Amino acid sequence: MAEYDALLEPFKLKHLTIRNRIMSTAHATGYPADGMPAERYQAYQEAKAEGGIGLTMFGGSSAVSPDCRAAFGQINAATDAVVPHFERLSERVHRHGAAIMCQISHMGRRSRWDAANWLPPVAPSALREPEHRSFPKEMEPWDFARIRRDFAAAARRCKEGGLDGAELSYSGSHLIPQFLSPLTNTRTDDYGGSLENRMRFGIEVLEAAREAVGAEYVLGLRISGDELLEGGLSAEETLEVIRRFAATGMVDFVNVMHGSTVDYRSIAILQPNMSFPPAPFLYLASAVKQAIDIPVFHAGRITDLATAARAVEEGHVDLVAMTRAHLADPQIARKLAEGQPDDIRQCVGANYCVDHLFVGEALCIQNPATGREATLPQEVPAAAGGKKVVIVGGGPAGLEAARVAARRGHRVVLFEAEAQTGGQVNLAARAGWREALSGVTRWLDTQARKEGADIRMGTRATAEAVLGEQPEAVIVATGGRPNKGAFEGVAHAVSTWDILAGTVEPGDSVLLFDDQGDHQAMSVAELLAGRGSKVELVHPERFAGVEVGLTNWPIHLRELYGKGVVMTPDMRLTSVYLEGNRLVAVLRNEYTLEEEERVVDQVVAEHGTLPEDELYFALVPHSRNLGEVDLDALIALKPQVVETNPAGRFQLFRVGDAVASRNLHASIYDSLRLCLAL
């Protein structure tokens, strides 16, 4: 593929030859077991190596000290117990021809005192960080000495573990950049004040790490090219910092990022979602590349091959990181090298991976195999199959069922009532900056057709039509219908679907009641306000979008505040009634139980979905399993063999929102594990 040739060129980094220019930066996953990169973590990294990546970095924010709490399930690099795990991980990655490095860090004040070892965070100065809300201890002389030793020991462990290099995190508002920035360093001793003083500890840590690993070992820095904070380090100031670090001769590469995380808004900028354009901060790495003579890497919403290839071909970077893109498809480099770029499942920037990490583990919204490589294949293996499988519904659950079943060799017929596939994704994509979600179902549609699925558009399935196909398995993926809730006078309200689909015109004054707390209501509030409506978003939670993840709700709030939407927490909609040609909405405080009224032109209500299950229940009597699912077999990826109705003609299953109101990841996961074992 001449268009992308620049990405496939090898790169020499000291003694290390990296087979291509595609990499993944270090990031937390939540996969370690007791702080160790054990089987699940290793399988995740090995999948990228097997998929052809040049360099995979791992261990985002790996802790070097006991007072650096691994808040997001990071690796504990503060003990020699990690070395055998590094050895096994490096062997598994190396056998596929990829290079591997680990990031090590001390998070300083970006931590909490009330977990793990119950030690107070330390920082250059006793300044509270808004996000973690801890009050750190100002570092004493002995803290400097021990943390230098800890960085050196962690770097040594990387080398002893057979890794190709180590990356010191001088970014992300971790301890070292807390010294660099005048926002977080108010010291008046040798470690504060002038730029030289503020860089002193970073150079001392670098010296200690270099001494521990020797001159030949690859050692690099992850560093921000601009803090993007008022009063913080500017791009010009950071460029000088990077020049000085590079001039020490101890740094083998600089991995340039952007931003600095001190609050929720800055976190959303640090992990740019689909509301940002592609490669929004590549210019920072490009400036560094022109200023220093050591290799420069960069990551930041680079999700497509064209952007990645341009970054390398035009000389902005030496290696380009497609980190979240590899959660969506770890086979990017292999598919590119084999001339199959259209088969790459492209990251849409939903940031479900990052958001779900903050509640447990990183999961891709469209690729359920990521993080589950020990049980689920990243590439569905072909099989002989042979069954006739009928699928009803062309949303994400139905399309995934069709893709996997057809790949497994079954004869697949899919009925879709609408003129296009996509289901609820098509509605969600109409809401402003979330349009990129449509890429999820476009890829599934393309792959299902490529595998030979017979997709019949504009065809509403009936029980008779399904039975007429003489199926051996039927999968009902009919999705859900909008649920407005159960308040009195619900018939006077319209659903968020009505607004998104354009079947109901927005009112001049709108009360939007959100009893789900996910993207739907916030997106529709933005849409309504953008079209001129005066909108009040009412919800019974402490804050709007309680189910929306940490890198997405700041974007929603930015849009809602910017469009003048009034947000009212702690209130429940109890009834709606007509008064003349207007509506009266009665709200009740969740805690005082006092009531208020609003007079509006329109009430919009969001309460998830109800299963569209009429067809399913019409088919149940004709099925061999009466719709029953062996849950243990489903979890274990074993065939479903329930036979509760000997007179039945086929196995019957339902997936996605046809079962219950959930999300995109759950719908695709349902179908993948069911159809792998059909």
Residues of the chain with CATH 3.40.50.720: 388-481+611-676
The SS3 assignment for 364 reads: coil
HEC string for 485-514: CCCECHHHCEEHHHHHHCCCCCCCEEEEEE
Residues of the chain with CATH 3.20.20.70: 2-357
Going through 485-634 in order, the beta strands assigned E by DSSP cover 494-495, 509-514, 534-538, 566-568, 571-579, 582-589, 595-600, 602-606, 609-611
Q: Please tell me the distance from the alpha carbon of residue 123 to that of residue 561, in angstroms, as a whole number.
A: 34
Alpha helices in 620-663 (DSSP H): 631-635
Burial of 91 (0-12, 13-18, 19+ CB in 10 A): middle
The SS3 assignment for 249 reads: coil
Residue ranges in the chain whose pLDDT is less than 50:
none
Among 494, 565, 558, residue whose Cα is nearest residue 528: 565
Q: Please tell me the distance from the alpha carbon of residue 581 to that of residue 650, in angstroms, as a whole number.
A: 53
**The residue count for the chain:** 678
Among 646, 635, 620, 645, residue whose Cα is nearest residue 673: 635
CATH of domain 388-481+611-676: 3.40.50.720
Considering Cα of 233, then 237, then 239, then 244, what sign does the dihedral take?
negative
**Which fold is adopted by the domain 484-607?**
FAD/NAD(P)-binding domain (3.50.50)
Residues of the chain with CATH 3.50.50.60: 484-607
Q: Please tell me the distance from the alpha carbon of residue 396 to that of residue 656, in angstroms, as a whole number.
A: 8
Asked if residue 392 lies in contact with residue 365, where contact means CB atoms within 8 angstroms, the answer is no
Residues 6+ apart with CB under 8 A from 85: 36, 37, 38, 42, 161
The SS3 assignment for 560 reads: helix
What pLDDT digit, counting tens, does each position of 284-303 carry? 999 999 999 999 999 999 99
Asked if residue 321 lies in contact with residue 299, where contact means CB atoms within 8 angstroms, the answer is yes
Sequential DSSP letters for 96-136: TT-EEEEEEE--TTSS-SSSTT----EESS----TTT---P
Phi/psi of residue 263, nearest 5 degrees: -155, -175
Give Cα 305 to chain centroid, integer Å: 19
How high is the pLDDT of residue 73?
74
Architecture of domain 2-357: Alpha-Beta Barrel (3.20)
Phi/psi of residue 184, nearest 5 degrees: -115, -5
Q: What is the CA radius of gyration of the chain?
A: 27
Asked if residue 645 lies in contact with residue 623, where contact means CB atoms within 8 angstroms, the answer is yes
How far CA 414 is from CA of 209, 389, 444, 655, in Å, comes to 58, 8, 13, 14
How high is the pLDDT of residue 71?
60
HEC string for 31-92: CCECCECCHHHHHHHHHHHHCCCCEEEEEEEEECCCCCCCCCCCCECCCHHHHHHHHHHHHH
Asked if residue 651 lies in contact with residue 472, where contact means CB atoms within 8 angstroms, the answer is yes
What pTM does this model have?
0.96
Asked if residue 365 lies in contact with residue 665, where contact means CB atoms within 8 angstroms, the answer is yes
Q: Please tell me the distance from the alpha carbon of residue 43 to that of residue 345, in angstroms, as a whole number.
A: 19
What pLDDT digit, counting tens, does each position of 457-477 carry? 999 999 999 999 999 999 999
Amino acid in position 341: P
